């Protein structure tokens, strides 16, 4: 198995697999960011407190989107490096 993965061809295979794994991770995080219903928004005089359910849900969604975008970028990076490796 290791003999088959040596050299540039082996590196290309690992980049393909890495890109697929990163793309799958991005899809999972984007699903988590969009899953579920938002709680009702309550109007506050000055600013929403940290304990407000709507504020916490939006903050969670933003964090999941941030992770998803990072994994998507890693997937794109793997595929762009793959373009420079000969078959």
Exposed, middle or buried by CB within 10 Å (0-12, 13-18, 19+), for 40? exposed
Which of 20, 44, 33, 19 is CA-nearest to residue 66? 33
Phi, psi of 43, rounded to the nearest 5 degrees: -80, 135
Closest CA to 27 of 83, 62, 71, 80: 71
User: Does residue 2 carry a pLDDT above 50?
Assistant: no
**pLDDT per residue as tens digits for the range 35-74:** 888 888 888 888 888 899 998 999 999 999 999 999 999 9
Domain positions in the chain are 7-37+44-82
pTM more than 0.85: no
Could you tell me which of 7, 8, 20 has the C-alpha nearest to residue 83? Answer: 8
């Amino acid at each position: 198995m290791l003999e088959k993965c040596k050299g540039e061809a082996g590196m290309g295979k690992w980049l393909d697999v890495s890109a697929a794994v990163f793309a799958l991770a991005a899809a999972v995080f984007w699903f988590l960011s969009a899953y579920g219903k938002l709680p009702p928004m309550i109007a506050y005089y000055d600013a929403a407190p940290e304990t407000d359910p709507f504020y916490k849900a939006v903050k969670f969604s933003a964090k999941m989107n941030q992770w998803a975008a990072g994994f998507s970028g890693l997937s794109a990076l793997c595929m762009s490096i793959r373009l420079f490796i000969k078959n």
